[in-house]
Amino acid sequence: MILLAGPCVIESEESIFKIAKSLERYQNDPRFDFYFKSSFDKANRTSLDSYRGPGIEEGLRILQKVKDDFGYKIVTDVHESYQVPIAAEVVDMLQIPAFLCRQTDLLVAAGKTDKIVNIKKGQFMTPGDMQYSVMKVLKTRGCDELSFEASQKYGVLLCERGSSFGYGNLVVDMRSLVIMRQFAPVIFDATHSVQMPGTGTGKTGGDSSMVPHLARAAAAVGVDGFFFETHFDPICALSDGPNMLKLEQLEALSETLLQINSVKGN
């Protein structure tokens, strides 16, 4: 099972290392293909006053230190094409944010690297239309075939994180997992899927109590991995606190997901 986990954004070197230390069990467990996730910049915050992160230079320095000290593979968001080759010097997976999943220059820049590219489905996108984002990366890598096998071979993933449902709410249509998995391996982002945009007075709200339920449902449908933002104290987190899991919750949930996977044979 692919597992992407870590705090939403780099808050400080001290907090990052505290969380990274708590995730060592996944690095040492052969049942997981583990990537440590955190962002050096969150460019899509609701308010200009919201914390964005330390920036690319300091953020990548910290992520490189995590990589060196723990041996983790690293995944981080990139928002502009100029960031891609810089981030690719450190990370093993480049993540395309949901709001940018159609940005051709960004996708092509990511495709020109040798890194895995995880494209998050926009809240405004149909699952079938995500094939065109996949093809932008595949064609950049010299592949004209759209299939699960081609995307797996050339390192392209799709990530489901819910669809807009009126104002202030997201819903997950489990059919999208099946549809997108026809042409790429699928990661289910269980924590962003419980966001409630625009309900937090200048911040995005959320309901983390729903994370385990959606994750178990996605495992039953069949996915290739999971993405969880996690923190030792989500209430105090500087970004996405309402939808993040506590570190201790992730352990029990990940075991449950492995059990469901084993029953389904995924």
Proportion of the chain in helix, strand, coil states, percent, rounded to 5:
40, 20, 40
Tens of pLDDT, residue by residue, the chain (266 residues): 999 999 999 999 999 999 999 999 999 999 999 999 999 998 887 788 788 889 999 999 999 999 999 999 999 999 999 999 999 999 999 999 999 999 999 999 999 999 999 999 999 999 999 999 999 999 999 999 999 999 999 999 999 999 999 888 999 999 999 999 999 999 999 999 998 887 656 667 788 899 999 999 999 999 999 999 999 998 888 887 888 899 999 999 999 999 998 886 55
How confident is the model at residue 259, as a pLDDT?
95
The C-alpha atoms of residue 130 and residue 161 are separated, in whole angstroms, by 13
**In terms of residues, how long is the chain?**
266
Cβ–Cβ < 8 Å for 242, 205: yes
Enumerate domains of the chain plus CATH numbers: 2-264 (3.20.20.70)
pTM of the model: 0.94
How confident is the model at residue 264, as a pLDDT?
64
Which tokens belong to 81?
């094409």
Q: Which of 82, 145, 141 is nearest to 117 (CA)?
A: 141
The C-alpha atoms of residue 145 and residue 163 are separated, in whole angstroms, by 27
Q: Give the contacts of 80 (CB within 8 A, at least 6 positions apart).
A: 43, 106
Cβ–Cβ < 8 Å for 35, 92: yes
The C-alpha atoms of residue 60 and residue 70 are separated, in whole angstroms, by 15
How confident is the model at residue 202, as a pLDDT?
65
The C-alpha atoms of residue 63 and residue 120 are separated, in whole angstroms, by 21
Phi, psi angle pair for 21, to nearest 5°? -60, -40
Q: What would the 3-class secondary structure string for 39-81 be?
A: ECCCCCCCCCCCCCCCCHHHHHHHHHHHHHHHCCEEEEECCCC
How confident is the model at residue 185, as a pLDDT?
98
